Amino acid sequence: MKKTKIALIQMSCVPDTGKNLEHAAELVIEAAKNGADLVCLPELFRAQYFCQREDHALFATAESIPGPSTERLGAIAKEHGIVIIASLFERRAPGLYHNTAVTIERDGSIGDVYRKMHIPDDPLYYEKFYFTPGDLGFKAFASSAGNIGTLVCWDQWYPEGARITALKGAETLFFPTAIGWHPSEKEEYGDAQYDAWQTTQRAHAISNGVWVCAVNRVGFEHGDVVHNGVDMPGPEGAGLEFWGGSFIADPFGRIVARASHDKEEILYADIDPAQVEITRQHWPFLRDRRIDAYEGVTKRFLI
């Protein structure tokens, strides 16, 4: 079982979608030149986080799959012989849009597509306006860089998604993310919010005996978007401070690499699939699951 060098691209985003794609491309190439086998970009990296408001004009920024982003990144994957995970605003059909993660194989082809299953609706995170919930289910993919599963941002809070993805054979879970602080809440709740975010994903690693790779963006954003020369400014106000803090946890839940809260970084770690086997032998949670007693988990509530 060969080790895989993972690179997580913690990047900041400017308003111009074209510039973000090119900046992402430069960072992916840098990671490849530093020996990465698999590179994962943050959620919706082509734009500032536009879900801070509801604006029909922003549907123009969505793209087909395959499309411009997969073409650009696919060429890089083929040239450098790497696997790339890219989170995109997918236009599936007129009026039908998804928050979608694409895995691009070493030959530049699309190896797998995952559509975000859990869609949030919170202040400045108005994703239900834009995205249809995924209909492909939770998936594992036997990529040329290992057995992986991708979930997206809000999915990270749900143990069911991580568990099903692991049960389908994923040994490393990727969570492309766009999460941050409301500036007015940071002083009182900031540390607790980040700690909860990290803790719940470390718990996925421990309870499933898998590697977990969480990659976030960084910087202040108001959701300003410029696409094909059209300016779509974000709402007035303090905006969001994306907290970075990308990290990689091993199957024992230990943090093996972690990024800062305020800088662009490429985070690297060597993923050893043998650690999945070893950890599950010592912590046999999958062996001891009471699959005869879990029918209630598919109910909204039990009283």
pLDDT class for 249, splitting at 50, 70, 90?
A: very high
* Known catalytic membership, residue 116: yes
Instruction: Tell me how far apart the 2 most distant CA atoms of the chain are, in Å.
Output: 57
pLDDT the model gives residue 65: 98
- Please say whether the beta carbons of 276 and 171 come within 8 A: yes
Of 13, 90, 105, 116, the active-site residue reads: 116
Of 40, 43, 105, 221, the active-site residue reads: 43
* Known catalytic membership, residue 241: no
* Known catalytic membership, residue 153: yes
Q: Which top CATH class is 4-298?
A: alpha beta
pLDDT the model gives residue 193: 98
The pLDDT tens digits for 179-197 are 999 999 999 999 999 999 9
- Please say whether the beta carbons of 73 and 39 come within 8 A: no
Q: Where are the alpha helices (DSSP H) in the chain?
A: 17-33, 68-80, 159-167, 183-208, 274-282
Domain residue spans of the chain = 4-298
Of 153, 171, 221, 241, the active-site residue reads: 153
pLDDT the model gives residue 134: 98
- Given a cut of 90, whether residue 230 has pLDDT beyond it is yes
pTM score > 0.95 for this model? Answer: yes
Q: Side-chain half-sphere of 59: how many Cα atoms within 13 Å? A: 16
- Given a cut of 80, whether residue 1 has pLDDT beyond it is no
pLDDT the model gives residue 92: 98
The pLDDT tens digits for 127-156 are 999 999 999 999 999 999 999 999 999 999
pLDDT the model gives residue 71: 98
Map residue 40 onto helix, strand or coil. Answer: strand
pLDDT the model gives residue 283: 97
Query: What is the average pLDDT across 97-120?
Result: 98
